[in-house]
Chains A and B, each alone.
Chain A
Amino acid sequence: MQIIKCENITLSYNKEKIVKDLSFDVIDGEYICIIGENGTGKSTLVKAILGLVNPESGKIKYSGVKQNEIGYISQTSAIADNFPASVYEIVLSGCLNRKVFMPFYSKKDKEKADYYINHLELDEIKKKTFSSLSGGQKQRVLLARALCATKKVLLLDEPTASLDPVATKEFYEIIYDLNRQHNITIITVSHDIDNSLKYADRIINLSKDSFKIYRPDELITKGDKNNV
């Protein structure tokens, strides 16, 4: 089942076209990787899918997925330095998007936050203030928050950029596990070609003025992995 449909979208900033006439569908449970050089519009595409930037033309349609069933990690954290908030407060705030009338967190919300805090090995720093954490720790906190917000789709914009190799591997395994075990659709931006090929069902390769969409096996059999 197609849950997101991008029809001939053109994305631009101040009339400068970044992505031209891109069409693709996202199928429920798919793992999609967006790759491409710096400045080719990967982050812009993710923002368009989230409704943070409006396409200049074309349409993005959702079916069977609502905005409040989506989790997101942006490329650069929008959290101000010195913002006084604990890890727990931040992770828990991911649970807010699906609460309609309830003003306070339920027991279930707290259990969910605790589950991901535990899952991502954040227990020891749960009470610490966010701004005092290392880059990798911050990234795991933001992942935990995004997971609390996710029910169907998770969009990740270069989530492993500040992680060490071990943490990167763990990160991919967590994401892959969510994808396979919990049927969460993953759309991730990455410069990590090897891992993209390993996990993704489909790859969207953006380049200046054009794009290609293919399956990892198509790329490997053609043997032009190095030309990506």
Chain B
Amino acid sequence: MFDLILEMFSYSFIIRAVIVGIMVSLCSALLGVPLVLKRYSMIGDGLSHVGFGALAVASAMNTAPLKIAIPIVVLAAFLLLRISNNSKIKGDSAIAVISTGSLAIGVIILSVSKGMNTDIYNYLFGSILAMSTEDVLLSVILSLVVLLIFILFYHRIFSVTLDETFAKATGIKVNVYNMILAALTAVTVVLGMRMMGAMLISALIIFPDVSSMNISYTYKGVTFFAIIISIFSLISGICVSYIFSLPTGASIVTINLLIYIVCSMIKRRN
């Protein structure tokens, strides 16, 4: 088994996946805390479907996927944020309309342009082989930017997540921080999508955070454990998927699920 893991790390595509995976897991674990607490996790899910549509467009046009997908998904994030803040529209169903709509259009574009079902499968459920060296570089740089911005606004995002009314009343620009949060989420979703797939990327945002909320009761603690859980399940998920020849994204999510079950049992005990 140890030999197998050593062998695994001799493949450069695995190294690439691990590097990008760690960066994306870090970002998604951090962003997940405010997103889950603000009940914005639907936005993450919606964005991944929009991202699928955008990647399909990029692939049909034979252009670099990230350069097309990131601006589209960031715009979609602002739109979804507006919808979910505007109580007059039925937020949930509007988000569902946008996300399933993009998914359907993406599937049609992919099947018309390439006619290959494996592409659709890879976009939906992720592929560890998807990343080129250039992609890795761009992904690492973008995740570093996301991390930096998140850390700089960490306390303000906390305040806006905790109590928007108080924040607004005391002069904090709530909308600005909500938009920052939405944009960072959009970038993270796109970066993680090709490895995790459109169907599974939002799990990376939600699972580590709901798990850690079972074992910690301070914001800092929840953030800390979310990071640990996220990175642990990423690395062990990649190992499991290699050893048993299972799809990578699904393996990572399954490990997250197991951790979630363990964490909720720990909570029950206390």
Question: Do the two chains belong together in a single complex?
Answer: yes
Q: How large is the interface on B (under 10, 10 to 19, 20 to 34, 35 or more residues)?
A: 20 to 34
- B216 touches A (CB below 8 Å): yes
**Can you spell out 22 A-B residue pairs with CB atoms less than 8 angstroms apart?**
A50-B168, A67-B170, A72-B169, A74-B169, A78-B163, A78-B166, A79-B163, A82-B213, A83-B162, A84-B37, A89-B158, A89-B218, A89-B220, A93-B155, A93-B159, A94-B170, A96-B155, A96-B172, A97-B167, A97-B172, A129-B218, A155-B169
CA distance in complex: A93, B217 (Å)? 17
CA distance in complex: A53, B216 (Å)? 36
- A2 touches B (CB below 8 Å): no
Query: B221–A84 contact, CB under 8 A?
Result: yes
Query: A78–B171 contact, CB under 8 A?
Result: no
- A149 touches B (CB below 8 Å): yes
Query: B155–A97 contact, CB under 8 A?
Result: no
Interface residues of A (CB under 8 A from B): 50-52, 66-72, 74, 77-80, 82-86, 89-90, 93-94, 96-97, 103-105, 127, 129, 131-132, 145-146, 149, 155
- Among the listed B159, B170, B222, which residue makes an inter-chain contact with A71, where contact means beta carbons less than 8 Å apart? B170
Query: B166–A72 contact, CB under 8 A?
Result: yes
Q: Given A83-B37, A93-B159 in contact, is the A68-B170 Cβ separation under 8 Å? A: yes
- B176 touches A (CB below 8 Å): no
**B 202-223 binary contact with A (CB < 8 Å = 1; else 0):** 0000000000010011111110
Q: Given A84-B217, A85-B219 in contact, is the A50-B169 Cβ separation under 8 Å? A: yes
- B156 touches A (CB below 8 Å): yes
- B112 touches A (CB below 8 Å): no
Query: A103–B213 contact, CB under 8 A?
Result: no
CA distance in complex: A84, B159 (Å)? 12
Report, nearest first, the 7 A-B pairs whose CB atoms are least far apart: A68-B171, A67-B171, A129-B217, A86-B218, A72-B169, A50-B169, A97-B170
Complex interface: chain A residues within 8 A of B162 (CB): 79, 83, 85, 90, 93
A-B contact count (CB 8 A): 87
Q: Tell me the nearest residue of chain A to B221, going by C-beta.
A: A84
- B164 touches A (CB below 8 Å): yes
Shortest distance from the beta carbon of A36 to any chain B beta carbon, whole Å = 21
CA distance in complex: A155, B168 (Å)? 14
Query: A149–B170 contact, CB under 8 A?
Result: yes
Shortest distance from the beta carbon of B95 to any chain A beta carbon, whole Å = 20
Complex interface: chain A residues within 8 A of B168 (CB): 50-52
- B94 touches A (CB below 8 Å): no
- B152 touches A (CB below 8 Å): yes
Query: B217–A74 contact, CB under 8 A?
Result: no
